[in-house]
Structure 1
Amino acid sequence: MCRRKKVRKTAAYIGLDVGSSGCKAAVLDRDGNILIEKRREYGFEYPSKGRVELNPVTVWSCVKEVLTDIAQEKCDCEIRMIAVSSIGEAMVMVDENDKVLYNGIMYLDERGPETVRQVDEAVGVDEMHRITGLPPRMFYSLNRILWMQKNEPQILEKTAHYFLFEDYITYMLSGKRLVSQSTASKTWMMDVKKMEWSEKIGKIFRVPLERFSKIVQIGTIAGNIRTELAKETGLPETVQVIVGCHDQCAATLGSGCVAGGDVAAGEGSTESLNLVVNREKLTDDFWNLDVCLEPYIVPGTYMVPVGQHTHGTSLRWFANQFAKDLKGMQTPTKSVYDMLNEICAPDAGEVFFLPYLTRANLMDGANRSLGVFLGMEVGTTREILYRALLEGVSFETRLCLDILKSSNLPVERMVAAGGCSKSELLMQMKADVLGCDVAILKNADAGISALAMICAVADGVYSSYEEAAEQFIGITRKYCMREKLHDVYSVKYEKYKIIRETMKKLYAQI
């Protein structure tokens, strides 16, 4: 319920996050207070082995439901603007009547590994990295188009407009085809220095880039919401739609990371350690790293994300497969993850877990190994396996942090946000494994706060994102690294790296 004030209505903004497992929307006032919050869940579709898709029609239906729920709440505020963040890479293809032609192919989908070689032979992956800021991977939008050119050409022939989920929702809200620089950069087709679609890439791979949305700066005003949508949801027709950003970009801003050297740990289904980098810090040495470069919200800055695809996904998989009894005991105040934390073993011993529940490896495109529990014996229990799983995802986080440190880019501080940051057990473990303190945001849904900040800056309430962050961002807790446990985990981490490399070689042979 919203807070009622005996004053005239205050300006408020809707942050709408479209994720892989659900959408959530919240109304925040100009001071960053959450007044209303609504959400809907949906899930992936698995049409066949190795294929993972998200239905855009289902997503849009859920978006309309949460907006309708918000409109029905009575609140002493004036909703002025709405901004959207979303997953990256996955495309929405529509015909000339805006009918969706194909589900979004998700980052976990295993179609098209051969497209990386195709791109390398045509352009060279090093050159692609320098143009787009993206190292070679199989899950970018370009890869999906190349796969469809060979396997689903009839779909491409009917496609009038290509969207990513961010600009698809923005379009459905406003009727304007605009996409942020951060989300467009995830396609492998945007020139990351010029901030525009790469004509060279479009020409070489026969991609009609004119059918993609116009690339604009985050915070651009798209226009008012569609009249028919206002009537359907109950939102005022005066609500303006603001161009949002990629979800990891939003999570970074919502963590209060606005300066070079700030690191935001996005702890969701995926994990991303997002380092904010000033443009002048990008030397020639940077391009030798196998990492992404994404335009950031603050002009003149970029974001370098490293991470793992199946972070929170690993926890959800474990709960679904090994804790069905606990799921049936959930209450509004205690989730299955809370109960797993309570029964978690104090030590995993020599049991290790590799959190690779998909072959689409974010940090190592050559690593085709899959998830593994190693070191089990007759006395291994569910509780021990869960401990090993938490350690495994934490060791992967340390691998990511090591990559950032090897880049010689400044790393000043770390702030964590997202659903998994609510787990005290996991966050303390991460501080111990990483060897650094981890601060937790007061508002765990950092992306929602960031979207409201984008709106407030666009509305002229704040002159800069730095000023908005001072008002919006608060830290609720800090987990301090414990030296003795860090030493213990460092020994296990060295074993983990050996196991990881061994499994990588094994899967290359079988």
Structure 2
Amino acid sequence: MSGVDGTDERYVVGVDYGTLSGRALVVRVSDGAELGTAVHAYRHGVIESALPEGGPALPPDWALQDPEDYRAVLRHAVPAALAAAGVAPSQVIGIGTDFTACTVLPTLADGTPLCEIPELRHRPHAWVKLWKHHAAQPHADRINALAHERREPWISRYGGKVSAEWQFAKGLQILEEDPETYRRADRFIEAADWIVWQLCGTETRNVCTAGYKGLRQDGRYPSGEYLSALDPGFADFVTKLDGPLLPLGDRAGNLSSQAAAWTGLPEGIAVAVGNVDAHVTAAAAQALNPGRLVAIMGTSTCHVLNGTHRADVPGMCGVVDGGISPGAWGYEAGQSGVGDIFGWLVTHAAPAGLDTHEQLTELAAAQPVGAHGLVALDWWNGNRSLLVNHDLSGLIVGMTLATRPQDVYRALLESTAFGTRMIIEAFVDAGVPVTDLVAAGGLTSNRLLMQIYADVTDRPLSVIGSAQGPALGSAIHAAVAAGAYPSIHEASAAMGRVREAVYRPDPDNVRAYDALYAEYRALHDHFGRGGNDVMLRLRAIRNAALDAAAAKADTILEVLG
């Protein structure tokens, strides 16, 4: 079979780094056919309670990872995917990667992670901070307050608030809680760029994470004067971010001999510029045209869409020129918890016999809209958009002795759809059209959830035609980096896939959900916009209690030791 240029078929590999594992996918360049895939679970998963190897306990809201787990994906998943595809390595012309964001790590000038330096391995701040590391919320609050006080022009590009997840909040936390580790860090880099560095031996930065997570707007980062005003020692932070900045779809470099040995791929093939799991999925879903919002739904949800112009949208995660694809303004918003919320109920609150998603979905689907008498807030992992406050928490209103697990399950499904509707309305109110939705990610298999989203948002909902959207998107970018297509748009048209308008709004359900959404919005504004800060006070009480318990345990250990 001949490829797009009349030669023998060629292939690319996409590697998607998720929260708990990494996936490699082998894709045919001519038509995007997915021929083989393999998953490798991170040995250490998410490090939340204590560092490995008997390291110290971690405070609340920490979430770390081990960068060696990322290399292991290259050593195990890529060769396994090639074997599953039956593709000869010599036929592969490029590799592309995507990562969760903002997942960041401090390194030496040569890219060595600080947590791999023996004398720093016991220091928590030397490790990778996963996207859902939310312990930097106080630092994010200071960043936001000072930016508004100084009228910094970039703050409006992030909806008026920078998240605790973003690079600057995490960097400031390192400086103020572990100055020695901060001093030792020559670089502070997104894992999306670090893994590319490991693949080709060349340090690069991608415009996507630099813009959305690194506060880089109009060709520059926040000024040294602003950073000094936050903390005099923070004035040099931008130097730790500085590196060659490349647009999406570019070639970052060539696969090194070391990475070729890890992966089994030919040395010298194209390595695409790093990217984010959500943003790269837009190409896989053929959703690069303005107005088509992609919701990448998994443990959390990221919402991305292209626009024709720049607008300031309150509560959005960012707007970046070329942030999704060159030639368009890319918008991002998100929800910090979605699938994790449903999983919490199944794991911790559903009784035996009803403790599967399938059983709860079947029972919940039999209910008319509103029959459970509940409304919930989807803040079980904080709120990313529109409130940008990770100290907020979940809420269910309407519980009675007649409430059953399937009632709560459906209310939680609906709460995440309400959160997405809040985001859509914020975009539309700011002059950024949202014409339709495309769903991607593992949650698309839940037909009830998909129909709820169509009904709540009153928009047709399409579904990506691939179960591996980020990995396919990374493969599409690899094809562009290797020169097989002249642009991401053309590669997306040939290699991406989507099932159009699979779910359409039901008019009766739309009206019923409008009433429930009004109640959701009232609760959202009351508990999220200062009407009652009980959630923040409860979080403070919890943290104080945990800190006191940890201090008591340390005292006991000292006495025993």
TM-score after normalising by structure 1:
0.88
Shift of 1:353: 2.0
Alignment partners' CA distance in 1, 2:59 and 2:239: 32
Partner residue in 2 for 1:16: 15
Is it true that 1:252 corresponds to 2:282 in the alignment? Answer: yes
Contact 1:130 1:287 in 2 (8 A): no
> Residue 298 of structure 1: SS of its match in structure 2?
coil
Shift of 1:176: 0.9
TM-aligned CA distance change 1:208 to 1:364, over 3 Å: closer
Partner residue in 1 for 2:307: 277
Contact 1:18 1:84 in 2 (8 A): yes
Query: Which residue of 335, 339, 346 maps to 1:312?
Result: 339
Contact 1:108 1:359 in 2 (8 A): no
Contact 1:180 1:245 in 2 (8 A): yes
Is it true that 1:193 corresponds to 2:224 in the alignment? Answer: no
Alignment partners' CA distance in 2, 1:82 and 1:215: 19
Q: What are the superposed Cα offsets for residues 169-193 of structure 1, whole Å, 9 maximum, x if unpaired?
A: 1111111111210011233441x22
Q: What are the superposed Cα offsets for residues 290-319 of structure 1, whole Å, 9 maximum, x if unpaired?
A: 322133343221211222110122122223
Alignment RMSD: 2.6
Using the TM superposition, name which of 212-221 and 395-404 deviates more. Answer: 212-221
> Residue 16 of structure 1: SS of its match in structure 2?
strand
Aligned length: 490
Partner residue in 1 for 2:444: 421
Using the TM superposition, name which of 113-122 and 15-24 deviates more. Answer: 113-122
TM-aligned CA distance change 1:486 to 1:184, over 3 Å: same
TM-aligned CA distance change 1:223 to 1:156, over 3 Å: same
Within 5 Å, which residues of 2 pair with 1:373-412? 373-412=396-435
Contact 1:110 1:360 in 2 (8 A): no
Query: Which residue of 296, 314, 322 maps to 2:323?
Result: 296
Letter in 2 for 1:20: T
> Residue 10 of structure 2: SS of its match in structure 1?
strand
Alignment partners' CA distance in 2, 1:474 and 1:72: 24
> Residue 133 of structure 1: SS of its match in structure 2?
helix
Q: What are the superposed Cα offsets for residues 114-161 of structure 1, whole Å, 9 maximum, x if unpaired?
A: 323433454437844537832322221101111111111111121132
Within 5 Å, which residues of 2 pair with 1:20-59? 20-30=19-29, 31-42=31-42, 43-46=45-48, 47-59=58-70
Alignment partners' CA distance in 2, 1:132 and 1:451: 30
Shift of 1:431: 0.7
Contact 1:346 1:387 in 2 (8 A): no
Partner residue in 2 for 1:100: 114
Is it true that 1:210 corresponds to 2:236 in the alignment? Answer: no
Alignment partners' CA distance in 1, 2:387 and 2:134: 15
Alignment partners' CA distance in 2, 1:119 and 1:358: 21
Contact 2:381 2:390 in 1 (8 A): no
Alignment partners' CA distance in 1, 2:351 and 2:26: 34
Partner residue in 1 for 2:360: 340
TM-aligned CA distance change 1:413 to 1:129, over 3 Å: farther
Shift of 1:447: 1.9
Is it true that 1:173 corresponds to 2:173 in the alignment? Answer: no
Contact 1:90 1:107 in 2 (8 A): yes
Using the TM superposition, name which of 400-409 and 181-190 deviates more. Answer: 181-190
Within 5 Å, which residues of 2 pair with 1:109-128? 109-120=133-144, 122-124=146-148, 127-128=151-152
TM-aligned CA distance change 1:86 to 1:354, over 3 Å: same
Using the TM superposition, name which of 203-212 and 60-69 deviates more. Answer: 203-212
Shift of 1:72: 3.8
Alignment partners' CA distance in 1, 2:16 and 2:293: 21
Q: What are the superposed Cα offsets for residues 303-343 of structure 1, whole Å, 9 maximum, x if unpaired?
A: 11222110122122223223585799xxxxxxx43343223
Alignment partners' CA distance in 1, 2:146 and 2:525: 30
Is it true that 1:68 corresponds to 2:100 in the alignment? Answer: no
Letter in 1 for 2:46: F
> Residue 506 of structure 1: SS of its match in structure 2?
coil
Shift of 1:26: 0.3
Alignment partners' CA distance in 1, 2:445 and 2:12: 25
Contact 2:365 2:448 in 1 (8 A): no
Alignment partners' CA distance in 2, 1:121 and 1:377: 41
Partner residue in 1 for 2:178: 152
> Residue 95 of structure 2: SS of its match in structure 1?
strand
TM-aligned CA distance change 1:359 to 1:258, over 3 Å: closer
Contact 1:394 1:429 in 2 (8 A): yes
Letter in 2 for 1:91: V
Letter in 2 for 1:163: I
Partner residue in 2 for 1:221: 251
> Residue 13 of structure 2: SS of its match in structure 1?
strand
Using the TM superposition, name which of 26-35 and 463-472 deviates more. Answer: 463-472
Alignment partners' CA distance in 2, 1:387 and 1:316: 13
5+ residue gaps, structure 2, are 1-5, 49-57, 116-125, 538-561
Alignment partners' CA distance in 2, 1:506 and 1:226: 55
Contact 1:10 1:76 in 2 (8 A): no
TM-aligned CA distance change 1:240 to 1:324, over 3 Å: farther
Alignment partners' CA distance in 2, 1:226 and 1:233: 10
Shift of 1:376: 1.3
Alignment partners' CA distance in 2, 1:157 and 1:327: 52
TM-aligned CA distance change 1:318 to 1:126, over 3 Å: farther
TM-aligned CA distance change 1:90 to 1:360, over 3 Å: farther
TM-score after normalising by structure 2:
0.81
5+ residue gaps, structure 1, are 1-6, 329-335
Contact 1:431 1:480 in 2 (8 A): yes
Alignment partners' CA distance in 1, 2:41 and 2:150: 39
Letter in 2 for 1:139: E
Contact 1:89 1:139 in 2 (8 A): yes
TM-aligned CA distance change 1:240 to 1:288, over 3 Å: closer
Query: Which residue of 393, 397, 406 maps to 1:370?
Result: 393
Query: Which residue of 287, 293, 299 maps to 2:312?
Result: 287
Shift of 1:199: 5.1
